Chains A and B, each alone.
Chain A
Amino acid sequence: MQNYTIRLRATVDEQGALIKALLTHPMESGFRKNASGESAAAHYITDITLRINDETVLTLLTGSGIAANPLFGWRIADVRSGDTVTVVWRDNLGNTRTKTASAQ
């Protein structure tokens, strides 16, 4: 069973918030072959959405060239302590995960 977790942290500073998200995902390109020459099937995140409260502030469309278990950092203006930060990802196999955190 694939482990998909999202670790999300939003730290408020004078400019807004620094948001860090660590997504557990294989980000398999479909090119890699194992010792017996079989390809691992392509399996990668295709899009990531960042929301503050209910406003979408950032959308990332991604390909298989993003690293496995990718770490992202973003900066968003006008974020206050207690605001709700949400990260949603979808992958090419139709899986999706959402994580919500409170800005600190």
Chain B
Amino acid sequence: MSDRRDFLVLATAASLARLLASAGLLASAGLARAGERDVHAFSAGSPESVYAALGLSAPVESAAIVIQAPDVAENGAQVPLEVTVNLPRVQRILLIGEGNRFPLLADIRLGERSKPWLEAKVKLAESSRIRVIAEADGRLYTATRDVRVIVGGCLPG
């Protein structure tokens, strides 16, 4: 009986230690990898809840962010975007399709060698605004562009 209890105590201590170790590991991995994907932000149902999930403060409107996209997109499932951020030290770019069921399209982390420019093809469910948020030198900037969509990118088919 007492053997069994000792065993249980030992087993509990061992699993506790393992738990603590894995928690510690997880915590340090989380710190090391700032590029962790935020599931809540990607499943947020409105632009506001995307900002809340990512803990973003209100960005400042900026003409330094240039969004190139067609004014009219025939096919919402394949909308080409080109984003240029004319600011120094851009660390992060967020692409948001404001009319989509899940507005956050991409959260891009730029290393020091990465130029603040990118091309991507995105889906737009309906005619809506594309919003780009850029973090440069720790501050948030934003710009938008309206795209009219003829056939939505999330229709049954």
B140, CB-defined interface residue at 8 Å? no
A66 and B105 form a contact (CB under 8 A):
yes
Q: From residue 36 to 80 of chain A, which have CB atoms closer than 8 A to chain B?
A: 46-47, 50, 52, 55-68, 70-78
**Which of A34, A66, A68, A74 makes the CB contact (< 8 A) with B106?**
A66
- Closest A residue to B42 by beta carbon equals A63
**Which of B35, B105, B112, B117 makes the CB contact (< 8 A) with A65?**
B105
A64 to B118, CA, bound (A): 18
**Which of A31, A55, A59 makes the CB contact (< 8 A) with B154?**
A31
**Which of B101, B108, B119, B123 makes the CB contact (< 8 A) with A58?**
B108
B156 and A34 form a contact (CB under 8 A):
yes
Cβ contacts under 8 Å, A29 to chain B: 101-102, 123, 154
Interface majority SS (helix, strand, loop, mixed), chain A: strand
How many residues of B are counted as interface, with CB atoms below 8 angstroms from the partner's CB atoms? 38
A58 to B115, CA, bound (A): 10
A80 to B42, CA, bound (A): 36
B118 and A67 form a contact (CB under 8 A):
no
B104 and A65 form a contact (CB under 8 A):
yes
Cβ contacts under 8 Å, A15 to chain B: 115
B114 and A65 form a contact (CB under 8 A):
no
**Which of B106, B110, B117 makes the CB contact (< 8 A) with A63?**
B106
Contact A61 to B106, CB < 8 A, known contacts A33-B156, A72-B119? yes
B113 and A68 form a contact (CB under 8 A):
no
A32, CB-defined interface residue at 8 Å? yes
Q: From residue 61 to 115 of chain B, which have CB atoms closer than 8 A to chain A?
A: 77-80, 82, 97, 100-115
Chain B residues with a Cβ under 8 A of chain A: 35, 37-38, 42, 77-80, 82, 97, 100-115, 117-123, 153-157
